[in-house]
Amino acid sequence: MAAIMQTTTRNTDWLLRPRWIIPGIPVGTVLQDHALQISDGRIHAVVPATTAAPHDHTLELPGHVLLPGLVNAHTHAAMALFRGLADDLPLQRWLKAHIWPLEQRCVAPDFVQAGTRLAIAEMLRGGTTCFNDMYFFPQDTAAVARAAGIRAVIGAPILEFQTPWAEDAADCLTQAEALLQEYQDSPRLSITLCPHAPYSVADASFRRIHALATTHGLRVHTHLHETATEVADSLRQYGMRPLQRLHRLGLVNERLIAVHATQLEPAEIRQLADSGAGVVHCPESNLKLASGLCPVQALLNAAVPVALGTDSAASNNNLDLLAELHTAALLGKLSPPDCTALAAADALHTATLGGAKVLGLADRIGSLEPGKCADLIAIDLRHPHTQPVYNPISQLVYAATANQVSHVWVDGRLLLREGHLQSLDVDAVLATAADWGQRITTACSAMPSSD
């Protein structure tokens, strides 16, 4: 059975009548007894429910909160097939002894297609309507995302060494240009350049990346200041910290998407703020790999745009952005200790409009404003663990879970209805994932011991 189905609800005109609407702007706003109208795939109006005109496609959501779709600002989607492998190891050992060798053995277009379908099924069921990806065979990630109806920012990964996708960094850039040509006019897909990290990309390649990004106005999505080891190695090899090196190469600007950023000095936070660069916070992956804590409140205080990401299911081990949101809000109060830091409304902003800003999509998504794309979700709060409701935003951030996401729209198309996916055949997705699990197990058994 095909994993991609025809979307059963093609209508893009709706009148939605939830208990609460969280429009996203101003931050912290909650509307009660309002209705939202979708027309031609865009938000037409948000009005008091008593003034909403009758509509052929009215959906009553009596115990639900309606909010912008969640933006997962850093993923390696296809790595969902590596979920649970080589857990409880430090980053460099995890990468070099396990993940990179497995990728050489297993990763190919069919792997990426299967893994991306699995990831999208998980993300849609958890309320994610847009994801920002970095992985091999990005053309296959793009094709699966387009067929599933989700919004995606597709990154072309760039590394100096041979990968299953490319021979070297020059080959990566050649393929990145082809990817851009293929998808530059796609309504739901955007393209970025993804140098893996400063430790895996040389200066000459960064210069080419800067030139290509400048010519085409592309964002540059990279792991940056993820660990203390990365910073120490950069000081030894280049005599400067990674952010300083990227600044010297012209890459620290409003198009930079800096992922992790757990090792930032105050002067570097000011530099990010002055440049307009954005940061993606991946708290659960950082915790699992013991990488460190991103100084989220300090970044927000400096007016640095901050988004939220899960990283891969191989290092998290899920793509549940509501769970990530919960973790981020709690961690934000620890460094330094301050129970008022990263308040619920500010945390939710990082997962919605904050993510859209970092990805350059704030004019299209991230808030429920007339004229924007109708990317939105409904979450049913009529569950024991989310009752009673005094503040819907606090309830979402501190108590809600992914299984409460009932409906998901992207461009006004209903992709999740009453918790059931409409554009993916879940049984087929899971059967293919199980098959890949057996193949990956066989590949692991053939690998030499890393001990």
pLDDT at 53 over 90: no
CA distances from 367 to 69, 167, 355, 360 (A): 8, 41, 11, 14
Q: May I ask the CATH class of domain 14-68+368-421?
A: mainly beta
Token output for 162: 């041979």
Give yes or no for a contact between 14 and 66, defined as CB atoms under 8 angstroms apart: no
pLDDT at 54 over 90: no
Architecture of 70-358 per CATH?
Answer: Alpha-Beta Barrel (3.20)
Mean pLDDT value across residues 124-145: 98
Give yes or no for a contact between 188 and 150, defined as CB atoms under 8 angstroms apart: yes
pLDDT at 410 over 60: yes
Query: Is residue 278 classed as helix, strand or coil in its secondary structure?
Result: strand
pLDDT at 450 over 60: no
Token output for 276: 């307009």
Query: Residue 10: what pLDDT?
Result: 66
Contacts of 327 (CB under 8 A, 6+ apart): 283, 284, 287
Give yes or no for a contact between 363 and 377, defined as CB atoms under 8 angstroms apart: no
Percentage with pLDDT > 70 across the chain: 97
Give yes or no for a contact between 308 and 324, defined as CB atoms under 8 angstroms apart: yes
Query: Residue 8: what pLDDT?
Result: 44
Mean pLDDT value across residues 167-187: 95
pLDDT at 195 over 50: yes
Parallel, antiparallel or unpaired: strands 220-224 and 256-260 = parallel
Mean pLDDT value across residues 52-79: 95
- pLDDT tens-place string over residues 383-392: 999 999 999 9
CA distances from 341 to 261, 297, 332, 345, 416 (A): 18, 6, 6, 11, 33
Q: How confident is the model at residue 164 (pLDDT cuts 50, 70, 90)?
A: very high
Mean pLDDT value across residues 331-342: 93
Query: Residue 170: what pLDDT?
Result: 97
Query: Residue 2: what pLDDT?
Result: 56
Q: What is the mean pLDDT of the chain?
A: 95
Mean pLDDT value across residues 21-47: 97
- pLDDT tens-place string over residues 264-302: 999 999 999 999 999 999 999 999 999 999 999 999 999
Mean pLDDT value across residues 301-325: 97
**What are the domain boundaries of the chain?**
14-68+368-421, 70-358
pLDDT at 7 over 50: no
Mean pLDDT value across residues 237-259: 98
Q: How far is it, in rounded angstroms, from Cα 329 to Cα 341?
A: 8
